[in-house]
Amino acid sequence: MSDSLSAATEILRGIAQAQDEAIKAGVPLKVVIADDGNDETRAKAIAQKFVKDINILAVIGHGSSKTSLAVAPIYSENQIVAIAPTSTSTELAKLPKRADGINYIFRTAPSDQFSGTALARYILNDLKNTAAVFYQFPKFPTANRCKQHFPLL
């Protein structure tokens, strides 16, 4: 959460709205908030804590693809649904399903492949003679993953 406060703020707003609607409908819903700091080790520790708590029914988060990928086996093994609203890695869709064929990890944002391809098509088809400049930003791996899909067009 702390790595991207604007995204975290919007996710928390959505969670608060869902909680409010559930409570108004007579369904008590408690929300637990944790910050993994975009660190895989910390994310795994949080996931281990969550799966041991019988009151935790599902998880919304973690905030990045790398933390979502790190915790996916923990949630899947323990049959906890995890929704990754800001994770964009195509690797999330490639995670192996459990032996029972059920997938417990869901990405709701478009993948890097989709975004990179859409952006490349827009540049090639619509901008044509206009210059576009891209650069790598090491702290934002999505840009690097999107870049991989440009040569595919």
Q: Provide the residue range defining the domain that includes 138.
A: 113-152
**Alpha helices (H) in 25-105, listed in sequence order:** 40-52, 65-77
Q: Same structural domain for residues 95 and 121?
A: no
pLDDT at 133: 64
Share of the chain above pLDDT 90, in %: 49
Q: Which residue has the higher pLDDT, 131 or 118?
A: 118
Report how many domains make up the chain: 2
The mean pLDDT of the chain is: 85
pLDDT tens per residue, range 54-78: 999 999 989 899 999 999 999 999 9
- Domain holding 15: CATH number? 3.40.50.2300
Q: Same structural domain for residues 101 and 127?
A: no
Q: Same structural domain for residues 46 and 91?
A: yes
Q: Same structural domain for residues 120 and 57?
A: no
Helix (H, G, I), strand (E, B) or coil at 121: helix
Q: Same structural domain for residues 26 and 93?
A: yes
Single-letter residue type at 126: D
pLDDT tens per residue, range 38-56: 999 999 999 999 999 999 9
Q: Same structural domain for residues 25 and 94?
A: yes
- Which residues, including other chains, have CB under 8 Å from residue 39's CB and lie 6 or more apart? 67
